[in-house]
Amino acid sequence: MSQNLYIPKQYQPLLNLARTEKAIKLTKDFFERQLSAELRLRRVTAPLFVLKGTGINDDLNGIERPVSFPIKYMQETHAEIVHSLAKWKRLMLAKLQIKPGFGLYTDMNAIRPDEDLDNIHSLYVDQWDWERVMQPEERNLDFLKKIVERLYGVMKRTEYLLSEEYPELEPQLPENITFIHTEDLLRQYPDLTSKEREDRAAKEFGAIFIIGIGGKLSNGQKHDGRAPDYDDWTTESEPGYHGLNGDIVVWNSLLDRSFELSSMGIRVNQEALLRQLALAGCEERANLQWHQMLLNGQLPQTIGGGIGQSRLCMYFLRKAHIGEVQSSLWPDDLVEKCQEHNIILL
């Protein structure tokens, strides 16, 4: 398993274990407050698990197995550990009757047993899941970009605060984030894989928002997978281009690679849901409880996403491994190799 591990040359953590723990708390507390204020989001309590078969849990790329278990006092009905809360949040927005321009956020914790464990992937996932009610006329690329820029501003302010508190953590984010569509990346680098294209663009610009993830490109392939029932990845955002979603990706100079911090997008409406279910060959999902609520107009139009808490801490604290900012399980040989190279896992 340690073959998946990337070791930066002569790695020395900038903060020791005690200072790292304090910096993690400072990062999370500040970012959370700033996120709430910037997008006018109220904090809510979220579930760790939901009932199987309701359509509420996310499918992510459609291949990840959720952790499930039977409930003794509910006739052995099965529950699933959430993969994320993209669809659950729209239920809560409807329940709380939150108005357009306002929203909610929560701490999402998940277990993903199918992850390939390496520097940036763990069995344990922690992120801020957020969702905001929007007007139907805001279903366009300009609105998406506006929200991305505001989120990026929160990231910039967090990085600056940490550099003030810990001078060794020098800011690295560029002044502005660059927007680029997956189709443009393909045309610019037709002979590279999608991951290699991300690396090239992130290294050139420092911080990018990659638009249009989930739908097929002109070469018949997808840049990356997306479930068909939360982000809208088929609506035409501008002539020749599709997708009202994307990822915030930065260049991680320590790991010498692109580094995703957030996945987000304008969510499906009735038309996009049916279109994407058909493209994914899973039209039967339209009969599930959550999908019926959306098709019957019981859920608001929203924009939302997830922001990796450990990913954010790892990037801002200049850590080489996600296990330096979160406690999880790792293979013995990976732990040993990390120790040999000054990578201290929590």
Q: What share of the chain is helix, strand, coil (3-state, %, to 5)?
A: 35, 20, 40
**Active site includes 163?**
no
**Active site includes 112?**
yes
Question: Choosing from 34, 127, 194, 276, which is the catalytic residue?
Answer: 127
Determine the Cα–Cα distance for residues 279 and 275; give it in Å rounded to an integer: 6
Question: Choosing from 34, 36, 112, 194, which is the catalytic residue?
Answer: 112
**Active site includes 58?**
yes
Q: How distant, in Å, are the alpha carbons of 33, 67, 99, 233, 329 from that of 247?
A: 22, 26, 26, 12, 27
Determine the Cα–Cα distance for residues 129 and 308; give it in Å rounded to an integer: 9
Determine the Cα–Cα distance for residues 184 and 209; give it in Å rounded to an integer: 12
**Active site includes 260?**
yes
Question: Choosing from 64, 172, 260, 275, which is the catalytic residue?
Answer: 260
Question: Choosing from 262, 263, 301, 310, which is the catalytic residue?
Answer: 263
Name residues whose C-beta falls within 8 Å of residue 19's C-beta, 6 or more positions apart in sequence. Answer: 166
**Active site includes 224?**
no
Contact criterion met (CB below 8 Å) for 173 and 181: no
Question: Choosing from 131, 199, 247, 324, which is the catalytic residue?
Answer: 247
Is the Cα torsion angle 71, 77, 82, 86 positive or negative in sign?
negative
Residue 30, burial from CB neighbour count under 10 angstroms (0-12, 13-18, 19+): middle
**Active site includes 59?**
no
Question: Choosing from 32, 58, 129, 159, which is the catalytic residue?
Answer: 58
Active site residues: 58, 112, 127, 247, 260, 263
